[in-house]
Structure 1
Amino acid sequence: MRITTPRVLALLCAALLSWYTFQVAPDLADRERREAAARADAVLPPTTVLPDDDRTPHHPAQRPTVSFPAAGKAFVGVFTAAGTHDFTEAADFTRQTRHRPQVYEFSADWETDHFDAEAINSVARRGMLPMVAWEPWDHRAEAEEPTLRGEQPEYRLSRIIDGSFDPYIRSWARGIKSLSYPVAIRFAHEMNGYWYPWCEQSNSNRRGEYVRAWRHIHKIFDAVGARNAVWVWSPNISYENSTPLSRLYPGDAYVDWVGLSGYYGTVGKENYQSFDRLFTPTRTELRRFTRKPLVITELGATDAAGRKAEWITDMFRALPRHRDIIGIIWYQAVKEIDWRVGTSPASSAAFSAGASASRYQQRWGPGMTPRLR
């Protein structure tokens, strides 16, 4: 092949592109990750020393008596998309609201996430109760078509019931048991819809299988001795054609906290709805069959109509009237809509004012036990 100037230039360009792709770009990305982690730690540094002895919550005789939250108190937590991989959004939430969250929720799916004690410890060291949204599916295979999101045959409820996932479940149970503090497990949430493989309306699941799957998993944790797991049963707020909640409830013997997901501004709920209007109908439905403490495990509001600050103010005004609601968890992420609290100075200020009330000021510590009444 004859050497020409264009060919030499092309080879040089290819070499430069290869050098940038495999050397410079990874270094820049790694530097950005380190800088983001440093910024997060500056705002949300570790504050808690975890016990390293054998006085763990699964030894009943040595359980502490301080409950979280205490009577008359409620917590304000945060749920981020990055989870334990990056605390930047939690740090942004803290800076914007001047409130350090007491609970940190993050997702773990059964296909890609194995138990990682250090990841969960990284939450607890920052003075936050870890809450795992534990999801039996492969989130990477999520279909774009909403009606097909729940179709993953490998993760049918019947396969959980028949023991196909027992080794995986047992590994998490043993891992949770090994920790010296409670960990909340929000297993297979929003089960009353159709958009996840564990919903009875999808994936060829059958009526009654959700409860059977929940109890099967709970019994494995009991057999292993993972008494420090806090079981959070968390449906979506009810809507037309959603599965009745009483059909999906595993029973008080298998649940510690009940939860709800609800947003102002989702499809079909674009018009302004106050906190009470959004949650009261489903809360009333829940109270027909359980008196377990209630946590709003996913919460957010749109600013599309410029009323986010108003909605947040209304929420904090309403919460003290509902003593059974022991905590809320704000969804600090962008998913179709920017749900983050700091979309405007007004919404940040409204949240800061509401969360500054004394009822939200109790700090979480690893020696506390979850409030069960």
Structure 2
Amino acid sequence: FTPFSIIMAGFALFNAFIMLFGIYMTIRLTNQNKILRTHLQKRHLLTLSKTKKDFYKLANAAFIATRAVALPFLLIILITAMSFKEENDESKWEEVYVPVSERVTSNLLGIFQPSEGNGLTDIKAVNEIERSHNFNFNIISLYLAWNDASIEDFPHELMNSIYEKNSIPMITWEPWASTLSGNDSIQELQNEQKVFKYIANGRFDNYIREFAQILKSQDRPVFLRFGHEFDNPQYPWSAAGNNTPEEFKTAWKHVHKIFKEEEAHQVIFVWNPWKPETMETYYPGDNYVDWVGLTLLDYSALEKVKEYSFNELYEPFKNKLYWFTRKPVMLAEFGSLQKGEQQQKWLSSALGAINNQHEEVAAMVFFNSALDANIPSNTSSDQQQLDWSIASWDFLPQKFKEGQQPNTVTLSKNSKGAAYPITRFDIRGVRYKKGTSWKNNYYALTKEVLEKDFREMKKAGINTIHVRGGNIYDHNLLLYTAEAGLQLIYQFNIPQNMDFIDNREKLNALEEEVLEKVEDLKDRKNVIGYSFALDLQEHFIKPQLFRQRTAYLKWLQSLTQKIKTIDPETSITIDLELDSETFDLAKTISSHLPIDSYGLVVKDTT
């Protein structure tokens, strides 16, 4: 049976009723045999006669009325039907994959709060702001230059303090080439020239690997804002140091590759341009960037500086970013110079614009420093340092003050190894996706369609199909694969965009559905495996991805153990997208879940 056959059966039943009623009326036994006339009183017969005449009058009036509107009514029906068809045709594109990050529902709040000019945040000062105003910062910003001290004197204590308060550090990693030892013999590097060329050709590989290992050892998420404002002539890693966009992109990809090779998978890469005009030429690609960082600072308190609203500063970036990436946006340096009430008004207006117009802005890191020595060259200010420190935090809407300190999610070890790998079967298979979204396509998986498809598959040497279950066609797929002698891997339909941390009610309902289905499938000889997808990266962005993935695996850990209790010999597989993190993710899963095999999903081989 199919959804269409069920609906058509209902129409057939209705038509049968109408036909029987018509047969009865045509026989007209009551009139031929004069049963009514001989058994009813005269007043009843008169009433029936009057009713009959009234019915005929009503029918005649209805005919006259409908005759006048029949054509317009027919046209309305036709136009409506065509619009439904157009809507149905367009809806087929809803299932087409587009690599767009889903909007983050939380609003990450961050701060850079130095007490001296070492680029480090004073965590005690941050704690005091949080205590006084009753909210929490999710991101704590710090700046580290490329030098030997960044390895030897890495701020482990500060990092631990940040993690202890359930926040995430963001390191702005500045490639000052001349400060690293061993570069004395290279004049270009001593003059802060062509640093990206030397990064790309491997000159700094040892240093980069050491730094990657330090971040990996944190075993927690960390934002890495490498080579920020690469188009800002105030920095030597811009064109001012004879660096080109191509050299920057090659160097960025090289650094990203080293971090992946060192298995520093919880490092979150933040790409931060300075101006919108040429930023697309510097973009290394979505495969190498997790967040877009922007520098949004209001300098209007200075003399000879034009006053700009937040939208006037931000929208030129937004309008250009839209055309080459949909990565979430972080205001990595965000603030307004102190000048009476002007700072509060500007920040309040900016927060209103972000909240109402710019949903892609998922994080704000306030540049709360009074020690900024980067004075714009086009001002007449005689200040030695700029004061960005925020006098009052009253401008923050309540939703930002509620805090989003993450729940800790951990996995316990699993002692059982893979006992029934799916590779013990001879598998030459395909993923069969017909009917996956039956409401939005014209595929009706009838007996005839399935039998024809399965015959063609067997002719091609295919002996196994992988299907995503949980829809109206489960019965047909299970029945006719068995009749065709095809092996079947059944994937449970677990929505990958749901909240695996807090939506316990939905998770409990899904677990019940899965276990009930296992009871139904366990005795079917052609079902050789149960499958689960793991592609949360299509729906969550880092660092939320890490927490949601751990919560999902924790739920799967309990569920798969129950499945093994019901059906211990059928293989359990997890499908993973093949990328630089796949091998390490599989190792993590194998040490925690009773998984027998892995399916690799290859989306791009270029």
Q: Which residue of 1 aligns with 2:461?
A: none
Residues 236/160 of structure 1: CA separation in 2 closer, same or farther (3 Å cut): same
- After superposition, the Cα gap between the structure-2 partners of 1:284 and 1:223, relative to the gap in structure 1 and judged at 3 Å, is same
Candidates 251, 260, 270, aligned match of 1:232: 270
Runs of 5+ consecutive residues of structure 2 not aligned to the other structure: 1-101, 181-188, 373-384, 410-500, 502-541, 546-606
Q: Which amino acid letter does the alignment assign opposite residue 212 of structure 2?
A: A
How far did 1:211 drift? 0.5
2:145 pairs, out of 109, 113, 132, with: 109
Residues 276-320 of structure 1, C-alpha deviations (whole Å, 9 max, x = no match): 121111121111100001110001102336411111111221122
Give me the whole-angstrom Cα distance separating, in 1, the residues matched to 2:245 and 2:268: 25
Task: Quickly say closer, same or farther: Cα 1:107–1:307, change in 2 above 3 A.
Answer: same
Q: Match of 1:271, SS? A: coil
Q: 1:85 to 1:236 in 2, by over 3 A?
A: closer
- Aligned equivalent of 1:212: 250
- C-alpha contact 1:208 1:248 (8 A) present in aligned 2: yes
- The residue that corresponds to 2:31 in the other structure is none
- Whether contact under 8 Å (2:112, 2:121) holds in the other structure is no
Unaligned 5+ segments in structure 1 are 1-68, 142-149
1: distance between equivalents of 2:400 and 2:367? 22
Letter in 2 for 1:227: H
- SS for the counterpart of 1:329 is strand
Give the C-alpha shift of residue 203 in structure 1. 1.3
> Pairwise mapping of residues 23-172 of structure 1 onto structure 2 (< 5 A)?
71-81=104-114, 84=120, 86-95=122-131, 97-111=133-147, 112-114=149-151, 115-137=154-176, 152-153=191-192, 156-172=195-211
Read off the aligned partner of 2:150 and give its amino acid letter: D
Kindly indicate whether structure 1 or structure 2 has the higher relative contact order, using CA contacts under 8 Å at least 6 residues apart: 1
Aligned partners of 1:139 and 1:130: how far apart in 2? Answer: 26
Describe the SS at the equivalent of 1:348: coil
CA distance in 1, matches of 2:132, 2:103: 26
Counterpart secondary structure, 1:357: helix
Equivalent residues of 1:84, 1:120 under 8 A apart: no
Which of the residues 352, 355, 360 maps onto 1:324?
360
Which residue of 279, 291, 312 corresponds with 1:245?
A: 279
How many Å separate the matches in 2 of 1:127 and 1:188? 26
The answer to whether the aligner puts 1:180 opposite 2:219 as a matched pair is yes
Give the Cα–Cα distance (whole angstroms) in 1 for the partners of residues 110 and 313 of structure 2: 19
Aligned to 2:390: 341
Opposite residue 286 of structure 2, the aligned amino acid is: D
Q: Name whichever of 171-180 and 210-219 sits farther off.
A: 171-180
SS of the residue corresponding to residue 109 of structure 2 reads strand
Report the equivalent of 1:198.
237
Distance 1:323 1:360 in 2: 18
d(CA) in 1 for partners of 2:395 and 2:133? 8
Distance 1:360 1:109 in 2: 34
Q: Which one of 361, 370, 373 corresponds to residue 543 of structure 2? A: 370
**Offset of 1:154 from its aligned partner?**
6.4
Asked if 2 retains the 8 angstrom alpha-carbon contact of 1:124 and 1:366, the reply is no
1:233-285 deviation digits (Å, cap 9, x = unpaired): 011243xxxx6011111100000011100111166983332221211111211
Compared CA separation, residues 303 and 358, structure 1 to 2 (3 A) = closer
Counterpart position of 1:312: 347
Sort the Cα spacing of 1:71 and 1:157 in 2 relative to 1 into closer, same or farther, 3 A.
Answer: closer
- AA of the residue aligned to 2:295: S
Q: For the residues of structure 1 that align with 2:163 and 2:230, how far apart are their CA atoms?
A: 28
Pair member with larger Rg: 2
**Distance (whole Å) between structure 2 residues aligned to residue 128 and residue 139 of structure 1:** 33
The alignment status of 1:262 with 2:288, answered yes or no, reads no
* SS of aligned partner of 1:205: coil
- Greater alpha carbon shift after TM alignment, 109-118 vs 166-175: 109-118
Could you say which residue in structure 2 is the equivalent of 1:361?
403
Query: Does the C-alpha gap of structure 1 residues 289 and 133 become closer, same or farther in structure 2, counting only changes over 3 Å?
Result: same
Q: How far apart are 1:360 and its partner, in Å?
A: 5.6
Provide the secondary structure at the position in 1 that maps to 2:240: coil
Identity %: 29
Contact 1:180 1:366 in 2 (8 A): no
Partner SS, residue 404 of structure 2:
coil
Contact residue 141 and residue 172 of structure 2 kept, 8 A: yes
Aligned partner of 1:293: which letter? P
Quote the Cα distance in structure 2 between the aligned partners of 1:245 and 1:126.
35
Normalised by the length of structure 2, the TM-score is 0.43
Aligned mates of 1:131, 1:227 — CA distance in 2:
15
The one of 305, 317, 327 equivalent to 1:292 is 327
1:317-367 Cα deviation digits (max 9, x unpaired): 11223111111000010113210112xxxx43223xx2x226863114665
Task: Indicate the RMSD between aligned Cα atoms, in angstroms.
Answer: 2.9
Q: Secondary structure at the match of 2:144?
A: strand
How far, CA to CA, are the matches of 1:121 and 1:70 in structure 2?
Answer: 29
Change (3 A) 1:263 1:116: closer
Q: In the alignment, what sits opposite 2:338?
A: 303
Offset, 1:140: 8.4
Q: Deviations over 1:71-93 (max 9, x none)?
A: 42111110133555632442354
Partners of 1:227 and 1:296 in 2: CA distance: 23
Q: Conserved in 2, the CA contact under 8 Å of 1:237 and 1:262? A: no
The structure with more helix, counted as a fraction of residues: 2
On the 8 A contact 2:136/2:401 being kept in 1, the answer is no
Q: 1:248 to 1:268 in 2, by over 3 A?
A: farther
Residues 365, 209 of structure 1: CA spacing in aligned structure 2 closer, same or farther, 3 A cutoff?
A: farther
SS in 2 for 1:153: coil
Report whether the alignment pairs 1:275 with 2:448.
no
In structure 2, relative to structure 1, the CA distance for the partners of 1:362 and 1:348 (3 Å cut) is: closer
What letter is aligned with 1:104? I
Q: Distance in 1 between the 2:134 and 2:306 partners?
A: 29
